[in-house]
Chain A
Amino acid sequence: DAKTTQPNSMESNEEEPVHLPCNHSTISGTDYIHWYRQLPSQGPEYVIHGLTSNVNNRMASLAIAEDRKSSTLILHRATLRDAAVYYCILIIQGAQKLVFGQGTRLTINP
């Protein structure tokens, strides 16, 4: 399974931007990069995904490095409700599963 590396934890302040990094040096050309988050006592929730180009949606932005070996999830203005574990996942072409790592536990300070 393709591997991703994320920091175990990060901390930020409310209403400030948050940049969550992910390394995926073994990514192949057809692997998609997905981000999910898991709030306390809930199932994971889709955040965003991309292949090569940067992506924006109502929740976040995804910045993908030119060589695709790393990506960054950007929360533009963090709120207390963004406190969660964030998972960066590679979706291998032909695979039917999400392979979760340990994720990054994001703490937001008021």
Chain B
Amino acid sequence: DAGVTQSPTHLIKTRGQQVTLRCSPKSGHDTVSWYQQALGQGPQFIFQYYEEEERQRGNFPDRFSGHQFPNYSSELNVNALLLGDSALYLCASSLVDRGLNTEAFFGQGTRLTVV
């Protein structure tokens, strides 16, 4: 079992550009959540996808959008990049029918640097 895999591992973009990050959940998991972790801070919830729909969203602007595919994999898109978007982006997968009385599995993250 490969666990949660994210790609790419590192990325450098220029202000104003757009970026797409990808996540494959742990085998058997149907729910994907995305988090942003700035340097020295705890991860902050961006949104969660289940059945190809956004279930809940954190306090992030509309520049942040996502998608979930029928195979449960997911993408995070960020438009009009700002310097402040530089962070580690984490994907976590879980099973919706267990709710949160279970563990979430995190990937290694994508380190995004905006210059």
Residue ranges of A at the interface with B (Cβ–Cβ < 8 Å): 32, 34, 41-46, 49, 51, 85, 87, 91, 95-103
Contact, CB under 8 Å: A98 / B104: yes
Given contacts A96-B55, A97-B58, A101-B42, contact A32 B106 (CB under 8 A): no
13 A-B residue contacts at CB 8 Å? A32-B101, A43-B92, A43-B106, A44-B43, A49-B101, A91-B101, A97-B33, A98-B45, A99-B45, A100-B42, A100-B44, A102-B42, A103-B42
Q: Which of B66-115 contact A (CB under 8 A)?
A: 90, 92, 100-109
- Cα(A100)–Cα(B33), bound, Å: 14
Residues in A with CB closer than 8 Å to B42 are: 85, 87, 100-103
The SS class assigned to the A binding surface is loop
Nearest Cβ in chain B — how far from A56, in angstroms? 15
Is the C-beta of B56 less than 8 angstroms from some C-beta in chain A?
yes
* Given A100-B43, A103-B42: A46 and B103 interface contact (C-beta under 8 Å): yes
